[in-house]
Structure 1
Amino acid sequence: MQPNKTAGAAAMTTQPERRTVSVLKSGEFARKASVLSGCIALFIVFSALTSSFYQPANLLDILLQSSINAVIAVGMTLVIMTKGIDLSVGSIVGLSSMVAADMANSGVMAGIGAGLAVGVACGFVNGVLIAKLKLPDFIVTLGTLSIFRGAALIYTNGQPIYGLPEEFRDLFAGQFLGAPTPVLFAVGIAALAYVMVAYTGLGERIIASGGNEEAARLSGINVERVKIIVYTLSGLLSSIAGFILIARIGAAEPIGGQGFELQAIGSAVIGGASLFGGVGNPFGSLIGAITLGALQNGLTLMNVPSFWQYVASGCVVILAVLADQMTRPRR
């Protein structure tokens, strides 16, 4: 009787699960179009207000500044899609970049491998604590935010690391076929994440787990494993963002990445990720990061004080959350 009961439960939950998965695959075209149109409108407004904004050099600068946030935001989007949050990404950026910079003196590949390993390990720890021990994601990642930051400070006794190998800097902050590699990393990672979410079984499980966790369990999805995977991916992408950061500035600091978690969450939400779970678009997060970058850049060119820039960015994020709450599909 038990197999029949299980099969019956799976059958009962098949339709809701498919409806949840179709939320992303059908695209929510209007929401995606509004994200892109909002970004374009922002560019048009600032171009009209200051002639310096639309200059090619400044537009390239916006893309470069947004690339680090975009890489982190893609990982954050995957976490948010499972109805989670990761406040530790900025600290992972700092810790993994410190380890990578230190080990890179022994070889570029050794530095990259060590930094990636640190990012994966940090994300895995977050995932296990949240999924296996059933601890609240907010509390866990708030705690690991401090732990990972402390570890970065302890690693070099609070001292920065200078003298990164040129090969490392060329890889993560150079050019490839005339295009800046930070931008290529951001676009490539967003594309890979989009393909994973929209066209693979893992993507369907991520959407289903965030849309209706109990229904996902009844249909045979290992929700705990899905959560561990997305937090691990978030840690991995945070370490890559850390590589781009230190390659651009030429040094690694233990406080590197401070505050990046808020920018990543803002970019993911602006890009259409729902804090209610089950909805998200890695390309939307890329556009969200560019939107925030353009907003800060435009206000800077207009000589708006930095503290008002924080106010403006916060207002944009709140409006995005409000729009999400008003338009999110009823399940």
Structure 2
Amino acid sequence: MSNMQVIAEAATITGLLAIVQTVVIICGGLDISVGSQVGVASVVSAMVFTTTGSNALVGMAAAIGVGLLIGVVNGLVIVYGRVNPTIATLAGLAAYKGLAQLLSDGRAQGYVLNNDVFIFLGRGKVAGLPVMVWILVVVALSVHLLLKYTDIGRNLYAIGGNDTAACLAGININKYLICVYVLIGIAAAGILLTARTGSGQPVSGSEGLELKAITAAALGGAALKGGKGGIGGTLLAVALLGCLENGLTVEGINSFWQNVAQGVLLVAAVVIQQRRNGERAVGLPH
């Protein structure tokens, strides 16, 4: 049971990002800058925490504010700059990573585990389960209900499935697209990474999160062209990736193989989607 808790806790940050990444993908978008966003917000939360005399709430608010701002920037660039989401967020991946390193001078910032709030978030337990796991459960349930039982959720699926039809139906596509990028920015606030590691991390702990989040969403059934996907499938995929990572670590296999495995799984998930939808490969005859 303790090993399962370790796997669950380690997968929490990936799980949160995978959930909101699923929402973005359902809406027809993609955000590959989430790892760098986490790094920026983690550094900001720790630096503000330190400069305000160990005020955890102000540090967290600053991290959420930065995440919100980044989400707005991404959304505006994509919607009004008419930049492809992959290109826009690829630029963000590099820019936000550089920003995190500039702010921190490339080093971990602050120390937060002398504060009860961060200790509770990073090390606390409720009913025998880590607080971080409970946060993941609450977020997953909330987003699931939003997608399945509200007009907002139905509109997100409609936009991803056919944006022209959604526009003709009177749905404000631009508003929804900006909002989903804001959502992923807030979720990538880096607070849990700071609480888990004890300091603001510009790169360590956040690098590669974008691949994990996208892989989990795709494995969970989210169609990368939009309009399909669900939170249940994404969580199962997060659990699979967590078990895979833990298994490779326990067996003493080089950690670089984890990246290889994630890449293979992502390609496999997309191939399966293509076959299931009856889509032919580019440049190949039926």
Q: Scaled by the length of structure 1, what TM-score is found?
A: 0.79
Q: Name 2:284's counterpart in structure 1.
A: none
The aligned runs of 1:279-318 (5 Å cut-off) are: 279-318=228-267
Q: Name 1:91's counterpart in structure 2.
A: 36
- Give the unaligned 5+ runs of structure 1: 1-55
Alpha-carbon contact 2:211-2:262 (below 8 Å) kept: no
Q: Name 2:12's counterpart in structure 1.
A: 67
Q: Which runs of 4+ in 1 moved over 4 A?
A: none
The aligned runs of 1:156-195 (5 Å cut-off) are: 156-164=104-112, 165-173=114-122, 174-195=124-145
Alpha-carbon contact 2:212-2:262 (below 8 Å) kept: no
For residues 230 and 158 of structure 1, do their structure 2 counterparts lie closer, same or farther at Cα, with a shift above 3 Å needed? same
Alpha-carbon contact 1:120-1:232 (below 8 Å) kept: yes
For residue 272 of structure 1, give the secondary structure of its aligned residue in structure 2. coil
C-alpha displacement of 1:329: 8.7
C-alpha displacement of 1:283: 2.6
Q: Name 1:206's counterpart in structure 2.
A: 156
C-alpha displacement of 1:160: 1.5
Q: Given the alignment, which residue of 73, 82, 93 partners 2:27?
A: 82
Alpha-carbon contact 1:83-1:277 (below 8 Å) kept: yes
C-alpha displacement of 1:305: 2.6
Residues 26-47 of structure 1: CA deviation (Å, up to 9, x unaligned):
xxxxxxxxxxxxxxxxxxxxxx
One-letter amino acid of the structure 1 residue matched with residue 273 of structure 2: D
Q: Name 2:183's counterpart in structure 1.
A: 233
**Partners of 2:260 and 2:99 in 1: how far apart?**
31
C-alpha displacement of 1:210: 0.3
C-alpha displacement of 1:198: 0.7
Q: Name 1:255's counterpart in structure 2.
A: 203
For residue 11 of structure 2, give the secondary structure of its aligned residue in structure 1. helix
Alpha-carbon contact 2:56-2:115 (below 8 Å) kept: no
Q: Name 2:94's counterpart in structure 1.
A: 146
> Would you say 1:219 and 2:169 are equivalent positions?
yes
**Partners of 1:147 and 1:294 in 2: how far apart?**
32
C-alpha displacement of 1:104: 1.9
C-alpha displacement of 1:152: 1.2
C-alpha displacement of 1:312: 2.4
C-alpha displacement of 1:178: 2.6
For residues 243 and 217 of structure 1, do their structure 2 counterparts lie closer, same or farther at Cα, with a shift above 3 Å needed? same
C-alpha displacement of 1:82: 1.6
Alpha-carbon contact 1:75-1:238 (below 8 Å) kept: no
Q: 274-283 or 310-319, which moves further after superposition?
A: 310-319
Q: 151-160 or 277-286, which moves further after superposition?
A: 151-160
For residue 161 of structure 1, give the secondary structure of its aligned residue in structure 2. coil
One-letter amino acid of the structure 2 residue matched with residue 71 of structure 1: L
**Partners of 1:158 and 1:200 in 2: how far apart?**
43
Q: Name the count of aligned residue pairs.
A: 273
C-alpha displacement of 1:317: 2.1
Residues 2-44 of structure 1: CA deviation (Å, up to 9, x unaligned):
xxxxxxxxxxxxxxxxxxxxxxxxxxxxxxxxxxxxxxxxxxx
**Partners of 2:81 and 2:195 in 1: how far apart?**
37
Residues 146-179 of structure 1: CA deviation (Å, up to 9, x unaligned):
2211221222322321321422322321222332
C-alpha displacement of 1:229: 0.6
C-alpha displacement of 1:193: 0.6
- Give the unaligned 5+ runs of structure 2: 280-286
**Partners of 2:125 and 2:116 in 1: how far apart?**
12
Provide the identity percentage: 35
RMSD: 1.6
Q: Name 1:273's counterpart in structure 2.
A: 222
